[in-house]
Structure 1
Amino acid sequence: MDLTSNITRRRALLAGGGVLALGGGVAYVASQPEPSEQRYVPDTSHGSTATTDFGVELAGRPIAGERDAAVDIYYWTDYLCPFCKKFETETFPDIGRNYLDTGDARLVALSYPNIGQYSMPAAVWGRCVWSQVADSNPAAFWNWHAAAFDEQPDSGTDWADEEAFTSVTERVDGVDVSSVDTCREERGDSIRESMDPNLDVAREARIQGTPGFVIYNRESGAAGRLVGAHPYENFADAIDQVMES
């Protein structure tokens, strides 16, 4: 499939077009050599209260990269998702170093709880960690984010519970467990409700599982979709084409 021919605009993507990836845009078993550095912390992170032209609400969501980067990467994920862990350890560091840290793109981390019973509570943990450190120490969130995926075993979802996520949070410097617990208790319901609009955007873009990505050029309106644990080369091709469209 010619990737260039599948770059589209927001309206067409939401109508069912714009698949960027070979083989219909789904890759869950892509393999590549193990990276030399598995944990990536962005050079720059920020928050926002805006809603993008694509319809993604940014308030309370971690954003890696420069505010004025022309290309958005909307990344729907679940801390219980094994293919998300594959993306985090094998692909995300290269995307970060080559696109986010250079100012070419920014990545918005979005929740798509869909794997197990603890998927939603895990998503609330993440949002509460971000809310605590976003202004003072955003790197602490990305360290927590990576540690949560590190906690994931090779298979199964039984590992994910209050004890596991409390342990992760206690181990990450700069994150206060008591503050996160207060957020979870006082804001948990509102955080859950706030996920719905961005989940609707994902479903409209035919993202029905994790990891799922929409790559969107905020200046030109070009957009495309990737679903699954693609290798870095697929992401690079997709980002470059959206960036140049």
Structure 2
Amino acid sequence: MPDRSGRPIAQVLMLAGAACAMLLLAFLFVRAEQLQNPSGESAGEPARTVSEDMRDAGEELARRQEGDPRAMGEVDAPVVMVVYSDYLCPFCGEWVRGVQPDLVDTYVADGLLRIEWREFPYLGDNSRTLALGAMAAAEQGAFWEYHDLVYNSPEDFTGSDTRLRADLEDVAEGLGLDAARFVRDMEGTAAEEAVEADFVEGQGMGISGTPAFLINGDPVLGAQPLEVFTASVDLALSDAEG
């Protein structure tokens, strides 16, 4: 039976179905692009906020403290990347495992980049306990060893707080640290105050999630691909040379 245009109903239905399918594919394509690049920036370009206040304030956050156990790279490197992270954030772990090593090999090793870590435990009590453990490990010069171990196997550090603290004591022993001192430091006020200072600092920058980065004051938000970071670092190097 034809419709008013004279075309058979079956043909009309086929055409309508094809149009719906094309619209669905278009929607899925756009959605996939949004999920891969939630900032809306084009691929390969630094994902930055538009806040000039954030950028200006971020330039002053590099501590450049000689002997800082939570920093790697030359204290006078032309570029400093400040990192706000949570040990139980899966995107932070993805960045640590997939991007950080390349930046270390390409820029930190050549004295061009310094990475300074900040604790931003916004995902609950276990996140905060892991951050306290990081501070305790830093007191014995093992921050980066602790950092790598936890980010490489975050699934091993869940459960009750009592169980987590026992697991972290085992971690300290496995790293060759003084476990009793590690526990004291983890439970002490200095670690608590240091974690809180990092957290408040990040909040003051407007950070509400992790990972978040400031590269010579320029924000890069989220676990962006390596090329986003190399583009941002290269731009900062160019600005520093200029």
For residues 144 and 233 of structure 2, the distance between their equivalents in structure 1, rounded to whole angstroms, comes to 22
Decide which structure has greater strand share.
Answer: 1
Counterpart of 2:182, as a letter, is V
Which residue does the alignment assign to 1:178?
A: 180
Question: Comparing 54-63 with 232-241, which one deviates more in the overlay?
Answer: 54-63
Counterpart contact for 1:61–1:109, Cα < 8 Å = no
Change (3 A) 1:242 1:204: farther
* Other-structure match for 2:228: 234
Contact 1:57-1:198 within 8 A present in 2 as well: no
For residue 94 of structure 2, what is the aligned residue in structure 1? 86
Please list, as runs of the form range in 1=range in 2, the aligned pairs for 1:73-222 lying within 5 A after superposition.
Answer: 73-133=81-141, 140-153=142-155, 157-158=158-159, 161-172=164-175, 174-185=176-187, 188-216=188-216
- Report the CA distance shift for 1:200/1:232 in structure 2 as closer, same or farther (over 3 A): same
The DSSP-based 3-state class of the residue aligned with 2:214 is strand
Matched residue SS, 1:153:
helix
TM-aligned CA deviation for residue 162 of structure 1: 1.3
Shift of 1:125: 0.7
Partner SS state of residue 158, structure 1? coil
Q: Which runs of 5+ in 1 are unaligned?
A: 19-51, 134-139, 217-222
TM-score scaled by length of structure 1: 0.68
Alpha-carbon distance, 1:196 to partner: 3.7
Distance in 2, Cα, partners of 1:5 & 1:158: 35
Query: What's the offset of the Cα at 1:205?
Result: 2.9
Per-residue CA deviation, residues 20-64 of structure 1 (Å, 9 max, x unaligned), is: xxxxxxxxxxxxxxxxxxxxxxxxxxxxxxxx9614556765110
CA separation in 1, counterparts of 2:76 and 2:138? 21
1:29 equivalent in structure 2: none
The AA in structure 2 aligned to 1:225 is P
Count residues with an aligned counterpart. Answer: 192
Using the TM superposition, give the Cα deviation of residue 142 of structure 1 relative to its aligned residue in structure 2, in angstroms.
1.7
Any idea what the Cα deviations from partners look like across 1:105-156, whole Å, max 9, x if unmatched? 10001100111221112111111111112xxxxxx432221111223129x9
Q: Secondary structure at the match of 2:125?
A: coil
Question: TM-score w.r.t. structure 2 length?
Answer: 0.68
Q: Which amino acid aligns with 2:204?
A: E
Match of 1:36 in 2: none
Cα offset, 1:79, TM superposition: 1.4
Task: Specify which structure has the higher proportion of helix.
Answer: 2
Aligned to 1:12: 52
Matches of 1:153 and 1:4, distance apart in 2: 30
CA offset at residue 6 of structure 1?
A: 6.2
Q: Is the 8 A contact 1:116 1:157 kept in 2?
A: no
Larger Rg computed on CA atoms: 2
Counterpart position of 2:37: none
Quote the Cα distance in structure 1 between the aligned partners of 2:96 and 2:231.
Answer: 18
Corresponding letter in the other structure for 1:12: E
Question: Could you say what secondary structure the match of 1:238 adopts?
Answer: helix
Q: d(CA) in 2 for partners of 1:164 and 1:4?
A: 38
Kept in 2, the 8 Å contact 1:56–1:201? The answer is no
**Does the Cα contact within 8 Å between 1:61 and 1:108 map onto a contact in 2?**
no
For the residue of structure 1 that corresponds to 2:115, the secondary structure is strand
Is there any run of 5+ residues in structure 2 with no aligned partner, and where? 1-40
C-alpha RMSD of the superposition: 3.0
The structure-2 alpha-carbon separation of the partners of 1:231 and 1:120, relative to structure 1 and needing over 3 Å to count, comes to same
Q: Residues 167 and 183 from structure 1, CA distance in 2 versus in 1: closer, same or farther, beyond 3 angstroms?
A: same
